Amino acid sequence: MDETVAEYIRRTVLKIPRAEIKTMLQKWGFLSEAQLQTLNFHQIKDNISQEVVQLCEENSADIKQAAVLDIIYNHIYQNKKMWSVYQMKKSGEELECFDITDFKKKFKGRLRSALKNVTITFKEYEDNAIWIRVAWGTPYKKPNQYKPSYVVYHSQTPYVFICASVLKSNLPLLCQALIVASNYHDIREMELRSHSLDSLKDIVFKRYSQNFQTYCPKPLQGGNVEPESADIRIVQENRSEKERIHRLNWEVFGGGPQPKLEFAQYKLETMFKSDPKMGVLDKKEPFRCLVKFSSPHLLESLKSLAPAGMADAPLSPLLTCIPHKARNYFKIREKKGLFPESFVSP
Amino acid sequence: ENVDLQKTAFLLRKAWTLYSVTPLYRFHRARLRDYARLLSAFIAAEKQKGLAVEVGVELDIKVAVSSLADLRGSEQDQAAVLVQLSLRSRASSRNSEDKLVWLGWFCSVYGDDLSENLPEDFTCLPLFLTHGAESYTSMVGSWFQKTFDCCFRRLAISPLNLSWMVAMWAGCKLDRAASAVELVFSVPHLSQPLDISYAIHPEDAKALWDTVQKTPGEITQEEVDVFMDCLYAHFHRHFKIHLSAAKLVKVSTAVASAHCDGIVKILHSQYLLGVLMLLTELAISQIQ
């Protein structure tokens, strides 16, 4: 077995938390159950990984098998990576049947015709997700297994999720291979990025609870507004305002859990407007700002701003449009003409 | 205000943790070498007691205490005092270079408010800035407290003071390309905490400040309020969020950056004394 493969397997096993190693090796399926029984999982990880490498040596593992183990690790710990979303476009209305073998063949073919040294690995999962791992080399160097790109493609949709890795120069080639393999004619990057792959899927596949404008239900009984006190001398101030905020929030965000995003960024190129009496800035050029919102769960925290008194209800459409516009990077310019107060987001 | 740029270069681009210090009793500038030796012995003793963790080769802490004559505002100010802690490995007998591990300096820039009515035995250096491990800060602070009967307190910077800083610094004229004027807000008491970074192009921030400030060289609370209100209003127009209700925790400009926990970075030598003057004032109000 090649020492670089041995080292790669050793390092991959080291990344796995000790309690998970056995399950992950079983999922991998490269080592037999009998071989796994010989492993002592109660020693320090250094020793465990050495023993695993020895067993892989017995089975003559090559880089292809090692790459599959890497995919399995990254599938389970997918939230450690930053994912970008790409959308593919078809030229016509042809609804072709998706053929996985054809896809793989075309993908590999396109990449290999441009770059001799690449390691390409596929793994399919039950939710129709195809995971693709690509390790990139150059005409003169073997592929760097430690900085691969990962692609997740749901074949029933035009969406691809990419964790590009540091080697951004390979991105155009990767995109090309994807559209060739999937019979689309164009691909574009959406302004949507997050660590939570599932949340990105929720947003583009519209799997989160949305609210549809035509349906106006009554707010949930006993919702977020505090219950009446037994003492009639205690009166809820602003009760109707609180209910109004709660209802507006419900209309915008829906009743269910929000997709999990960590940040939203707005590049503002709008004019600075103020009361002329204040005698301040009155430039003809935009007031250039960059605003970034961050939170462990951004949409939930935005949802709680109005009830907390920190924001007006309804919340600004710049914020509430995030899930249904499927983006968290925005460039906002002033809209000229009829409605000077509204914004254009190109 | 001619500060030797070479000598003070080490102050720039470091994150300094701020403390206020009450006046030092019977501190004599002639005895700086003695103080260095005493502090060194104190630190060695503390380490013997096991308060500092050491692995492997025994390491010597070398202490240097010096005076920075130029680092002061007026003649009434005491010159700054610098304490440096370096690590010298005993294992190598040659004169291998000492590794600087901790820096701390006392200063006063236009600190007349405090020094005016002090009896002679007291030395007034109300601002203390440190860079390096907390364990060393603690040891140095303890020694000074014991030796000069003074009291150290972490200097917190309120949102009010942060807004003064950002308004002042946004208006500074800079000869080279400046970085953005950034305000960082925190909204902790939500179901999920939210941080908001609001960064403004430095030219636009300066243009705004220039129309707000009425008298050059003078800044009033009202002007700072107008500046901040303008920024809040612009933000509200877009996001419908009342930024004024959030907690301002950090401001950052090309001149300097400051965090509410009392951590400051000075980025531009031109405004070094100006920043120190502001910090001295904060330290003095914390003492009084």
**Tens digit of each residue's pLDDT (9 = 90 or more) over A73-98:** 999 999 999 999 999 998 776 667 78
The parent domain of residue B163 ranges over 159-260
| B78/A227 Cα distance (integer angstroms) | 63
CB of B268 closer than 8 Å to CB of B12: yes
Tokens 């999990």: give the residue: A260
Among A280, A316, A343, the residue with its CB nearest the CB of B212 is: A280
Strand duo B99-107 + A329-334: pairing:
unpaired
A191 reaches B (C-beta below 8 A): no
- Residues of chain B contacting A, Cβ within 8 Å: 180, 187, 189-201, 204, 207-208, 211-212, 226, 230, 233-235, 237-242, 245-246
Q: Do B193 and A296 lie within an 8 Å CB cutoff?
A: yes
- Which tokens go with A85? 């979303």
Q: Report pLDDT for A230.
A: 60
Structural domains of chain B, count = 2
Do B136 and B178 belong together in one domain?
Answer: no
pLDDT tier at A306, thresholds 50, 70, 90? confident
Q: Are residues B171 and B70 in the same domain?
A: no
Written as one letter, the residue type at A209 is S
B134 in a domain, yes or no? yes
CA distance A298 to B196: 11
What would the mean pLDDT of B251-270 be, rounded to a whole number?
93
Same domain, B143 and B226: no
Residue to test with chain A: of B186, B192, B224, B226, most A Cβ within 10 A: B192
Same domain, B102 and B178: no
| Residue B273 counted as domain residue | no
Q: Record the pTM.
A: 0.80
Please list, in sequence order, all residues whose beta carbon lies within 8 angstroms of the beta carbon of residue A191, skipping any fewer than 6 positions away: A327, A328, A329, A330
- Which pLDDT does position A273 carry in this prediction? 80
Q: Is residue B272 situated within a structural domain?
A: no
Say yes or no to pLDDT of A48 above 50: yes
Residues B208, B194 share a domain: yes
Reported as a pLDDT band with limits 50, 70 and 90, residue B56 is very low
- B253 shares its domain with B223: yes
Q: Are residues B172 and B251 in the same domain?
A: yes
Q: Are residues B84 and B131 in the same domain?
A: yes
Furthest C-alpha separation in chain A = 83
> Do B74 and B211 share a structural domain?
no
Q: What is the pLDDT of residues A120-172, one digit of tens each?
A: 999 999 888 999 999 999 888 999 999 999 999 998 899 999 997 767 788 99
Distance CA A183, CA A201 (A): 21
> Domain for residue B104, yes or no?
yes
- My answer on whether B241 and B130 are in the same domain is no
Asked if residue B27 and residue B149 are part of one domain, the reply reads yes
- Render pLDDT for B139-160 as a digit per residue (tens, 0 to 9): 999 999 999 999 999 999 999 9
The band of A174, judged by pLDDT with boundaries at 50, 70 and 90, is: very high
pLDDT of B1 higher than 50:
no
In which band, very low, low, confident or very high, does the pLDDT at B120 lie, cut at 50, 70 and 90?
confident
Q: Do B64 and B141 share a domain, yes or no?
A: yes
The strand ranges marked E within A59-185 are: 83-89, 118-124, 129-136, 144-154, 159-163
Q: Whole-number mean pLDDT of chain A?
A: 85
Distance from the Cα of B249 to chain A's closest Cα (Å) equals: 14
- At A284, the pLDDT band (50, 70, 90 cuts) reads confident
Residue B180 has pLDDT above 90, yes or no: yes
Both ends of chain B: CA-CA distance in Å? 27
- Would you call B161 helix, strand, or coil by DSSP? helix
CB atoms B198 and A291 under 8 Å = yes
Which ipTM was obtained for this model? 0.86
H or E element at residue A194 = strand A186-194
Mode of pairing for the β-strands spanning B80-89 and B24-25: unpaired
Structure tokens at A191: 């302004």
Structural domain includes residue B48: yes
